[in-house]
Structure 1
Amino acid sequence: MSIDPKAFRQALGNFPTGVTVVTTVDTDGTPRGLTANSFTSVSLDPALVLVCLGKTTASHPVFMEADRFAINILAEDQRDISGLFASKSPDKFSQAAWHPGTTGAPLIAGAVAWFDCTVHQRVDAGDHTILIGQVQDMGQRTARPLGYCQGAYVGFQLQQAAQEALARQARTTALIETPDGVLLSAGPDGLDLPTSGDVAGLLDALKQHGVQASVDFLFAVFDTPTGSRIVYRGRSAHPPKDNALRCIPVAELPRLNLANTALQAMLNRYARERAQDAFGIYIGNQDAGEVRPLATA
C-alpha cells in the first residue's frame, strides 16, 4: 500500500502536541535552532529525551556534529518565538532572548520548561534523524504551555474565552467541512452556517440531516446585538443526505457575495486560512475585532 505523504502528515496532525525550539551551537560557537513538535521522553533512569529532526532542515548538519543540544518547551505566549525559529531568518537569536545552559546550548527565555542535554545517540530514520539526548540540567516555570494540533496553535486562554461567551447565553455555530465543501444551511433568509444553542444541540441537528460531524477548534468568539456567538471549526466524512444543507467548495466561498456581510467576511477568512493551512481566532464583535494569527509550527 502506498501512503500519500501529505495525507500522512495531515493524519498525524490530529495528535495534539506541545511546541519546542531545539537549539545547539556550531563549531565556531554560533547558536543554531529550529522549531519542532516531535519531542518525547525516552527514559527516566538515565534521563533521556528525543526529538526528530528533518534531514532537509538547514541546521540538520550542525546537529549531526554537535555533542550537545537543548529542548525548550514554549509557553502559550511564545507563538512569535515558534514562528521565528520555524522561519528562514538568518538572525533568529538576535530576535529572541536567550542564555547558554550548562552544556553551552542556548536556553530560550520564557520557556515553560527546558532540558539541557548531551548527545546520547543518533538514529537514522527515513527522512528524519532521531536525536536522543541525556539530560544534564533542566528547569521549569509556572505557565501554560503552547499546544499545536491540525495545523493550528491551541491554548487554554481561548477555551476560557469560549466559556465566558457561554456564560452570556451564546449561540453556537460551526464551519463543518466535508470532502465536498463547507456545510451551509439553506433557509428562507438565504444561506447561513448551522447554528444551535450549544454544541450538543448543533451536532444533534446535523444528525437529523444525515451528517455525523465533530467540532474541534474555536474559529471565532464575538458579540452581536442579540447575544454572543461562538464559531467552531469542524468536519464530517460525508455530505448531507437532504437539501436543507448545501456543500459549498472552499474555493467558492469568497464568490458567494452574501447579503450578510459579517458571514461573508467569515467565510472569506476561512477560505484564505484553509488554503494556507494556518488558522486564527477572531475575538471581538460582529463589526470589529482582532484575528490572532496561528502560524504553522
Structure 2
Amino acid sequence: MTTLCLELRRVYGAYPTGVAVVAGLAGGRPAGIAASSFVPVSLDPPLVSVCVAHTSTTWPLLRDSPRIGISVLGAHQEHVGRRLGARTGDRFAGVAWRSTADGSVLIEGASAWYDCTVEQQVRSGDHDIVVFRVHDLDAAADVPPLVFHAGAFRRLG
C-alpha cells in the first residue's frame, strides 16, 4: 500500500460512521459483508447506498439476489462487525440472524434494518457504489448504533 493510500485511510478514518451488514441468502446459506459506508440517499424513492470493494469475494454472491438485507449494528454487536468483516471462516457462526421470504438476511438485535433490492451499481475507483431501493425497514429506538472511527469500533456516549 502506498504512503498516500495509508494517509487517505488515516484521514478518512477521522470521520465516524455506523457499521452495517449487507447480507442475503446465497445457495440457501447466509452471505454478507460489513460496510462502514452505508448512506441514506433519497426519501422519494426510498434509496440507500453502500460502497463495495472490487476485491470482495462475497459481493458477487449477493449482487443478483432478489432481496438483500442491510442491518445497522447496535453498540453491543462489535463481535458481529468483526465476524462479518473477516475475510475467512464462517462469518455467520455465532451470529443471530433471520431471513425474509425473499432472501434478505437481517441481523437480530440490530439498531435498524432495511429490506432492499439493488437499484444500480456504479463503478467508482477501487469500489462500486451500490444503490438499493428500500422495500421495508424498521429501527429499534432503544438500541444505539455501533460506530467505526479511527480504525476501531466505538460506542456513542
Aligned to 2:145: 145
User: What is the CA distance between 1:57 and its match in structure 2?
Assistant: 1.8
Give 1:1-297 correspondences, 5 Å limit: 4-26=4-26, 28-101=27-100, 103-141=102-140, 142-156=142-156, 159=157
Whether the aligned pair in 1 keeps the contact of 2:24 and 2:62 (CA below 8 Å) is yes
TM-score, normalization by structure 2: 0.91
**1:99-121 alpha-carbon deviations (Å, 9 max, x no partner):** 11253211100101001101111
For 2:93 and 2:154, the matched residues in 1 are separated by: 27
Quick one: which amino acid aligns to residue 5 of structure 2? P
- Structure 2 unaligned blocks of 5 or more: none
Residue 133 of structure 1: SS of its match in structure 2?
Answer: strand
Aligned residues between the structures: 155
User: What is the CA distance between 1:144 and its match in structure 2?
Assistant: 1.1
User: What is the CA distance between 1:3 and its match in structure 2?
Assistant: 8.0
Whether the aligned pair in 1 keeps the contact of 2:63 and 2:118 (CA below 8 Å) is no
Percent identity over the alignment is 36
For 1:110 and 1:102, the matched residues in 2 are separated by: 19
- Which protein is richer in helix relative to its size? 1
**1:230-259 alpha-carbon deviations (Å, 9 max, x no partner):** xxxxxxxxxxxxxxxxxxxxxxxxxxxxxx
Residue 76 of structure 1: SS of its match in structure 2?
Answer: coil
Residue 4 of structure 1: SS of its match in structure 2?
Answer: helix
Q: Which runs of 4+ in 1 moved over 4 A?
A: none
Root-mean-square deviation (Å): 1.7
Q: Considering only CA atoms, is the larger Rg found in Structure 1 or Structure 2? A: 1
Whether the aligned pair in 1 keeps the contact of 2:23 and 2:68 (CA below 8 Å) is yes
User: What is the CA distance between 1:143 and its match in structure 2?
Assistant: 1.1
Whether the aligned pair in 2 keeps the contact of 1:103 and 1:116 (CA below 8 Å) is no
For 2:72 and 2:100, the matched residues in 1 are separated by: 15
Going from structure 1 to structure 2, the CA distance change for 1:81 and 1:108 (only over 3 Å counts) comes to same
For 1:8 and 1:87, the matched residues in 2 are separated by: 22
Whether the aligned pair in 2 keeps the contact of 1:79 and 1:146 (CA below 8 Å) is yes
User: What is the CA distance between 1:91 and its match in structure 2?
Assistant: 2.0
Whether the aligned pair in 2 keeps the contact of 1:99 and 1:108 (CA below 8 Å) is yes
For 1:67 and 1:54, the matched residues in 2 are separated by: 21
User: What is the CA distance between 1:68 and its match in structure 2?
Assistant: 2.4
Quick one: which amino acid aligns to residue 4 of structure 2? D
**1:263-287 alpha-carbon deviations (Å, 9 max, x no partner):** xxxxxxxxxxxxxxxxxxxxxxxxx
For 1:94 and 1:24, the matched residues in 2 are separated by: 15
- Structure 1 unaligned blocks of 5 or more: 160-297
